[in-house]
Amino acid sequence: MAAAARLVGLALTLSLIFIPSTAAQCTALVRIPRTYQNNGQYQAEIDLVLVNTGSSYSAGGQSLYVSNPNYLQLISTSGWSGSGSGGSVSGTVQLGGGLANGGSVSVNMVVAGSSPQNFFPRSVSFGGRSCHIQQTR
């Protein structure tokens, strides 16, 4: 009985000491070079540089998900294929030779939104990994 209690205590102590890393394994560098009005809709060009800060991505298609409640519709893409409405866009980025740690891939999109001032992504994930989001010029 005493040995079992010590094991439970040890397990609790170890679980308090070992905290898994929640650091993002991807960084999304975001640049919004232009916002404008087109046919009564607010639109923005959004450039994303997706930087791998974790283990390598394999060659082939990797998922991309970008969200912001302001997003009404995905108008066009470059460097990936996607669709979206109602606050999020998603699709696939093709990686020909994979993407090692420190490597990056650039993609672009034009989205329509409900406001001209709120196009910065709230969340970005790439290849199933949550990305740290950083504004760039």
pLDDT at 92: 97
Rg (CA), the chain: 20
What is the predicted pLDDT for the residue at 117? 86
- Within 4-97, strands assigned E span 26-38, 41-52, 60-67, 71-78, 81-85, 88-95
Element (H, E) at 109: strand 104-113
Task: Answer yes or no: is 103 within a domain.
Answer: yes
Q: Which domain holds residue 93?
A: 24-135
Q: Is 4 among the domain residues? A: no
- Regions of the chain short of the pLDDT cut 50: 4-21
Beta bridge partners, 125, equal 65, 130
pLDDT of 10: 41
Q: Look at residue 12 and tell me if it is in a domain.
A: no
What is the tens place of the pLDDT at every residue in 27-36?
999 999 999 9
- Domain-located, residue 41: yes
CA–CA dist 136, 123 (Å, integer): 16
CATH number of the CATH domain containing 41: 2.60.40.290
Backbone angles phi, psi at 129, to 5 degrees: -105, 135
pLDDT of residue 18: 35
* pLDDT value at residue 63: 97
pTM of the model: 0.81
What pLDDT does residue 11 have? 41
Report residue 15 as tokens: 């679980």
Distance CA 89, CA 22 (A): 24
Residue 137 pLDDT: 84
Whether 125 is covered by a domain: the verdict is: yes
Beta bridge partners of 11: none
In a domain, 40, yes or no: yes
9 inside domain: no
Q: Is residue 19 part of a domain?
A: no
pLDDT at 3: 54
Question: Considering its fold, how many domains does the chain have in total?
Answer: 1
What is the spatial distance between Cα 33 and Cα 106, in angstroms, rounded to a whole number? 14
